[in-house]
């Protein structure tokens, strides 16, 4: 929290606590009075939604872990026992399974929002980089979690992903064996994945703390991408954004509940209702939808090692965005050229996801999808490494409004302030 604290203990008890553990002060400064730009739109409610998602996953996950058995022989049966014999086990498991998809849906919206409004630009570089770290941890956690039901797709997904490490020259096979704890994905692998799946969410929670801490130094960016200049530009977080976030959170939960109660297997793969069988490879091994764009990149490259490097590079690239964007203006609202490349980028990500879901030989209108994926991969990297730096230099941004208050309230705000 930047700036002096405005906390004023009201009772003797509050004063007593505050002088020993300034927790009430922290809550007051970071939640109640935290000055927040008054022009944040719906896309800024996803930070709160994501915190909710993390809490839901941790709570349902802890309950599931009470009934789950991490053993190659018993895991599948224990999940079915949860679905059939544990009171409301079906509800908890469906919330947890769909919760992962909802988590990623929210994370992608949150990330694209950051990209569009330039929220990664100075002085918010570390918020963005910590965010990329959270995203990475999230993918690892989701991957470990998907293995736990020990269905066909769990087993073969784990086999494909861990085999990627064997692409490393010389020591690759040794790394894979070390990861498995065996010479193939098996009991030892399942047990360590369960251990890590239980551990990582708490690390994510810690890193989310850093993410929010870093956010509270410069405060929120906003759709105009201009700095807060006067108190007129902000409103206190409570009640303005607590009520707004709460409303959109409930809208999000309605969607969430729609899946849980009426299409609980929408994001799932039927093969995962077959117990893992190391002797039978499914005709198509497909990861969960949120990993499909990266899977499409991996498959579009004929060389295994190069494919792995490209896929890892796609995520590592995100770390450098704050310095790849050379524009002085943050928000794409005032960047007529960049805005179009941004939307093209969003479409490319969807295309990559689509390609990742299809079989390797699939074609669209006679064009092999593998070539579509190659071109899309090329655009993905070009967007960050070429388009971003070049457009920032050659583009003439639109005129920025003088202040947030004036843009929201019109000229009256300025006169009344003076």
Which C-beta is closer to another protein: that of 36 or that of 141?
36
CB of 340 to another protein, least distance (A): 4
Among 175, 205, 253, 285, binds another protein (CB under 8 A): 253
Among 12, 361, 399, 418, binds another protein (CB under 8 A): 361
What are the start-end ranges of the H helices in 28-86?
A: 46-67, 75-84
Does 91 help bind another protein (rule: CB under 8 A)? yes
What are the start-end ranges of the H helices in 216-335?
A: 237-262, 292-300, 304-324
Cα separation, 181 vs 319, in Å, equals 31
Which C-beta is closer to another protein: that of 281 or that of 363?
363
Among 55, 122, 257, 316, binds another protein (CB under 8 A): 257
User: What tokens appear for 116 in the block?
Assistant: 């569009």
Query: Do 76 and 151 form a contact (C-beta atoms < 8 A)?
Result: yes
Number of C-beta neighbours around residue 200 at 10 A: 17
CB of 348 to another protein, least distance (A): 6
Mark residues 282-311: x for contact with another protein by CB under 8 A, - for none: -x----------------------------
Does 351 help bind another protein (rule: CB under 8 A)? yes
Which C-beta is closer to another protein: that of 66 or that of 243?
243
Question: What Å distances lie between residue 58 and 63, 88, 145, 169, 371, CA to CA?
Answer: 9, 17, 12, 38, 40
Does 254 help bind another protein (rule: CB under 8 A)? yes
Q: Which of residues 159-188 bind another protein (CB under 8 A)?
A: none
Q: Which of residues 129-148 bind another protein (CB under 8 A)?
A: none
- How many residues in the chain? 418
CB of 13 to another protein, least distance (A): 29
Among 1, 17, 83, 126, binds another protein (CB under 8 A): 83
CB of 56 to another protein, least distance (A): 14
Does 104 help bind another protein (rule: CB under 8 A)? no
Mark residues 305-344: x for contact with another protein by CB under 8 A, - for none: -------------------------------xx--xx-xx
Does 258 help bind another protein (rule: CB under 8 A)? yes
- Encode 162-198: b = buried (16+ Cβ within 10 Å), e = exposed: bbbbbbeeeebeebbeebbeeeebbeebbeebbeebb
Does 359 help bind another protein (rule: CB under 8 A)? yes
CB of 115 to another protein, least distance (A): 16
Residue 51 — φ and ψ, nearest 5°?
-60, -40
Mark residues 396-415: x for contact with another protein by CB under 8 A, - for none: ------------xx------
Does 273 help bind another protein (rule: CB under 8 A)? yes
CB of 409 to another protein, least distance (A): 7
User: What tokens appear for 2 in the block?
Assistant: 């930047």
Does 364 help bind another protein (rule: CB under 8 A)? yes
Query: Do 318 and 388 form a contact (C-beta atoms < 8 A)?
Result: no
Does 362 help bind another protein (rule: CB under 8 A)? yes
Does 348 help bind another protein (rule: CB under 8 A)? yes
Which C-beta is closer to another protein: that of 21 or that of 360?
360
User: Which one of 5-13, 209-217, 218-226, 239-247 is the stretch in contact with another protein (CB under 8 A)?
Assistant: 239-247
Q: Give residues in contact with another protein (CB under 8 A).
A: 38-39, 80, 83-84, 90-91, 94, 235, 239-240, 243-244, 246-247, 250-251, 253-254, 257-258, 260-262, 264-265, 270-271, 273-274, 283, 336-337, 340-341, 343-344, 347-348, 350-351, 354-355, 358-359, 361-365, 369, 372, 379, 391, 394, 408-409
């Amino acid at each position: 929290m930047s700036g002096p604290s405005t906390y004023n203990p009201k009772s003797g008890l509050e004063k007593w606590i505050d002088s020993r553990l300034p927790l009430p002060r922290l809550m007051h400064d970071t939640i109640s009075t935290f000055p927040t730009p008054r022009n944040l739109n719906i896309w800024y409610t996803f930070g709160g939604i994501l915190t909710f998602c993390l809490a839901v996953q941790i709570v349902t996950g802890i309950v599931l872990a009470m009934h789950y058995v991490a053993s190659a022989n018993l895991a599948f049966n224990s999940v079915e026992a949860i679905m059939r014999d544990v009171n409301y086990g079906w509800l908890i498991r469906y919330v947890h399974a769909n919760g992962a998809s909802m988590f990623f849906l929210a994370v992608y919206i949150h990330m694209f929002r950051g990209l569009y409004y330039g929220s990664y630009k100075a002085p918010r570089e570390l918020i963005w980089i910590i965010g990329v770290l959270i995203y990475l941890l999230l993918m690892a956690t989701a991957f470990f979690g998907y293995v736990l039901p020990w269905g066909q797709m769990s087993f073969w997904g784990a086999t494909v992903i861990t085999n990627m490490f064997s692409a490393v020259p010389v020591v690759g096979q040794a790394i894979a064996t070390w990861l498995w704890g065996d010479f193939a994905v098996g009991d030892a692998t399942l047990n360590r994945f369960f251990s890590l799946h239980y551990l990582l969410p708490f690390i994510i929670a810690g890193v989310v703390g850093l993410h929010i801490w870093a956010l509270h130094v410069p405060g929120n960016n906003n759709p105009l991408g201009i700095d807060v200049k006067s108190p007129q530009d902000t409103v206190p977080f409570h009640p303005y954004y607590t009520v707004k976030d709460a409303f959109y959170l409930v809208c999000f939960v309605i969607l969430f509940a729609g899946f849980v109660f009426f299409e609980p297997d929408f994001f799932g793969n039927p093969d995962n209702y077959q117990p893992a069988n190391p002797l039978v490879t499914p005709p198509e091994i497909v990861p969960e939808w949120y990993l499909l764009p990266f899977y499409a990149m991996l498959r579009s490259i004929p060389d295994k090692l190069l494919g792995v490097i490209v896929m890892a590079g796609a995520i590592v690239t995100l770390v450098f965005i704050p310095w790849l964007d050379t524009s002085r203006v943050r928000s794409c609202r005032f960047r007529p050229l960049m805005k179009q490349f941004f939307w093209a980028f969003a479409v490319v990500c969807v295309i990559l996801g689509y390609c990742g879901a299809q079989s390797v030989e699939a074609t669209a209108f006679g064009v092999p999808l593998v070539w579509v994926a190659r071109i899309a991969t090329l655009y993905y990297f070009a967007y960050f490494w070429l388009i971003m730096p070049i457009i920032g230099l050659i583009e003439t941004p639109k005129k920025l409004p003088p202040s947030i208050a004036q843009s929201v309230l019109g000229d009256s705000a300025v006169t009344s302030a003076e």
